[in-house]
Amino acid sequence: MFAYNRSPICSPHFNRPAQHVPLTLAIKAPGRNFWAPISETMLSFVTCLVLGLLVAWGEAQRGSGSRYNAWAAGTVNCSCTKDINALKRELLHEIHNRQELKGALETYVTELYELRTMVRHLKNDTRAANAVAAKSQLPEIAFSTKLSYNRELQPLDTVLFDTTITNNGEGYNAETGKFTAPLSGTYYFFATILSGYNTKVETALILNDKEVARMYSGAHDAHGSGSNSAIVNLRSGDSVWIRLLYQGGTHVHGFYSTFSGFIVNERDP
C-alpha cells in the first residue's frame, strides 16, 4: 500500500522535467507487519512511467495525428525531417534535369552526325559538279559572216562571205570562205542564200569536199531565199564551207546571204 502527498511530482509532458517536491512515502511489505520507506527517485520514475503510458494510451484512442502516432512514426522531436524531405525533392529535381540534359545531348549528337553526313555529301556533290563544269566548259568557238555585195559565181566555186561579224576562236577565214575547226567536237552550221531577181541558185554545205546539206533559192518575178542547217562531228583541222552547185543560176545576192556556226560540245576525235 502506498501513501504520499497529492502534490504533482512529474509533468505529463515528455519534454518538461519533473518538479521535485517534498514527499512522504511508505510501503507495507507483504507478509510483514511494518512499513518500509521507498526513495523519492524511484517513486518519481514509477510515477512518470505510469503517467506516460496513460497519456500515450489516451492519445492513441483519439486516432491519427496524435502525439503518440507521431512518436510511433518516428517524427517526434526530429527537426531534420523537413530538411531531409527538401533535400530529397531537390535530388529528384536534379535527377530529372540531368535526364532531360542527357536526352538533349543525345539529340544534339544525332543532329551533329546528320550534319556531318550532309556536309560530306555536299563536298562530294561540289567536287562532281566542279568536274562536270570543268569538263563541260566550252571553248569560245563561234563565227557569223555575210556577203556585202552581189556575187556572180561558177559551178563548184566557194561562196566567199567577206564580212565577218563574229569569229571567236579564229576558225573562219574570210579570204578562203572556209571554217576550220580549232578543236575536235560537235558543231552546228546554218546558212541562208538569196538568189537574184527572177532567177534560181542551188548551193550546198560542204565538209571536206563532201556534201552535207543543200539549199534551193529562187522565185518568179522576185528574189528567193533558201536556208538549211546541219550538226556535224569535226576533227581538229576539218573544214566547212558553202559551194555553188551545177544546177540553176550563178547569182548570189549580197547582204541577205549569211553563213554561221559554233561548237556544241568538245569531244575526242
Global pTM value: 0.52
Residue 127 has pLDDT above 90, yes or no: no
The helix/strand/coil state of 106 is: helix
* pLDDT tens digits, 131-155: 776 666 778 999 999 999 999 999 9
Who's near 226: CB < 8 A, 6+ residues apart? 192, 193, 195, 202, 203, 215, 216, 217, 218
The helix/strand/coil state of 27 is: strand
Which of 34-38, 88-92, 96-100, 243-247 has the lowest average pLDDT? 34-38
**What does each C-alpha distance from 120 to 125, 128, 176, 189, 257 come to in angstroms?**
9, 12, 55, 44, 55
Who's near 243: CB < 8 A, 6+ residues apart? 156, 157, 158, 159, 203, 204, 206, 211
Q: Rounded mean pLDDT of 47-59?
A: 66
Q: Where are the alpha helices (DSSP H) in 62-165?
A: 67-72, 81-136
* pLDDT tens digits, 113-123: 899 999 988 98
What is the grid cell recorded at 187? 558543231
